[in-house]
Structure 1
Amino acid sequence: MPSIVHTFDWPDRVVVGTVGRPGSRAFYLQARDGARVTSVGLEKMQSAALAEKIDEILDQVMAADGNPVSVPTGIPVELVDNEPLDQPVEPEFRAGALSLGWDPSTAQVVIEAFPLIEVDDEAEIDDDTVLEPDEVMVVRIPVGTARAFAARTLEIVGAGRPLCPFCGQPIDPEGHVCVLPGDV
């Protein structure tokens, strides 16, 4: 069991945001409850996968007999959050694994972020070794907030550097050298 659990059962705010310029942005999952703010570092692809899977869960719940918890198809206007991350951004840890679930008793999406566990090269690890994280972040959010969270996250992930129309690679602000297939 982790020694530190950052739990947010009904947070005032939960977002994925970035610090830095496109091409060198750092992504963060951040939750706030009153004055308490917790940030966890994420990879861009973790952020995208998290948002996509939240939408999938919400769509599955919505498709259940009669949409029992009134999952919105769109984003409730009052839940749109376009504000930057709360400052200062001081991550508790960098996420190595994310877990996502649905709690039918509270009609909430549950996000769990576990730290990246670095193993010493000399440590003896076998298939039976269980590595316990020192801390974990658990965020529980209602369906409307989850829908808005997913939309914002996908928008932020997509707001990076433009892609080259020829090779599909990101174009840096300084320019771009395009290497087309077959030119190698």
Structure 2
Amino acid sequence: MSPTVHGFDWPDRFVIDTVGEPGARTFFLQARAGSDVVSVALEKQQSAVLADKIEEILDQLMAEDGNPYSIPAIAPDALIDHDPLDEPVLEQFRAGAMSLGWDPSTAQIVIEAYPVSEADAEAMESFDPVDLEPEEVLQVRIPVGTARAFAKRTREIIGSGRPTCSLCGEPMDSAVDHVCTLPDGFR
């Protein structure tokens, strides 16, 4: 059976943001076109990797002779979205695997998120592609300026969590005294 595709070819909005307090936040990837809104939960690390890989693709394309796709070096201010997630935030699924691509025919970054499933680990052991077909997928296609702005916002959201201890690198919770666990030999 073919998966249900939540497709957004030119979304009105595409962002990562969080719900909850630092230390207990849930990250969401949210796309909106008109009144159609899809929110997919994902991990903080997935958000960071997605932003990094988008920047990497854009930088590679920008470095091509003459910058044929007019890739902006920095996020255009007019495209940076600082608004919170569209309410209500209803989790469509939790993202497991994600893919990232480039469509030169439309000069768009293509992002796909697939739901995590209990069968993922078992399917990877035997690797039968038929077993790996997801029930649904979020597919979003965004132009290069929007992609640059998306990556910038995502980094800001990731950085807005709990402060990091300068000694041990662990997150510090402001409600509780931080106990720094330094490696042996450091005081």
Smaller-chain TM-score bracket: over 0.9
Tell me the secondary structure at the aligned position of residue 83 of structure 1.
coil
In the TM superposition, residue 127 of structure 1 has moved relative to its aligned partner by: 3.7
Matched to 1:80, the amino acid is I
Secondary structure of 1:56's counterpart equals helix
Structure-2-length-normalised TM-score: 0.92
Report the counterpart of residue 101 of structure 1 in structure 2.
101
Tell me, in whole angstroms, the C-alpha distance in 1 between the residues paired with 2:75 and 2:121.
Answer: 47
Structure 2: where are the runs of 5+ without partners?
Answer: none
Counterpart residue number, 2:183: 181
Partner amino acid for 1:23?
A: G
Partner letter of residue 134 of structure 2? P
Q: Is the 8 A contact 1:2 1:136 kept in 2?
A: no
Paired residues in the alignment total 182
TM-score, scaled to structure 1: 0.93
**1:52 aligned counterpart, secondary structure:** helix
Q: Which is further off, 159-168 or 47-56? A: 159-168
Aligned to 2:23: 23
Match of 1:152 in 2: 153
Deviations 1:40-72 (CA, angstroms, capped at 9, x unpaired): 011000000000000010011111111111110
Instruction: Decide which moves more: 125-134 or 97-106.
Output: 125-134
Amino acid at match of 1:179: T
What's the CA shift for 1:84? 0.4
Letter in 2 for 1:177: V
2:57 counterpart letter in structure 1: I
1:121 to partner: Cα distance: 9.6
Structure-2 change in CA distance of 1:169 and 1:6 (3 Å): same
Q: Are 1:135 and 2:136 matched, yes or no?
A: yes
Question: Distance in 2 between the 1:80 and 1:29 partners?
Answer: 15
Letter in 2 for 1:175: D
Matches within 5 A, 1:74-93: 74-93=74-93
* Secondary structure in structure 1 of the residue aligned to 2:119: coil
What is the letter of the counterpart of residue 180 of structure 2?
C
> Amino acid of the residue matched to residue 182 of structure 1?
D
TM-aligned CA distance change 1:69 to 1:20, over 3 Å? same
Stretches of 4+ moved more than 6 A in 1? 120-123
1:60 counterpart residue number: 60
Q: Distance in 2 between matches of 1:59 and 1:94?
A: 29
Q: Which amino acid is the alignment partner of residue 170 of structure 1?
A: P
SS at match of 1:131: coil
Could you say what the CA RMSD is over the residues aligned between the two structures, in angstroms?
1.9
Do 2:120 and 2:132's aligned partners in 1 also have CA atoms closer than 8 Å?
no
Contact 2:69/2:107, CA 8 A, preserved across alignment: yes
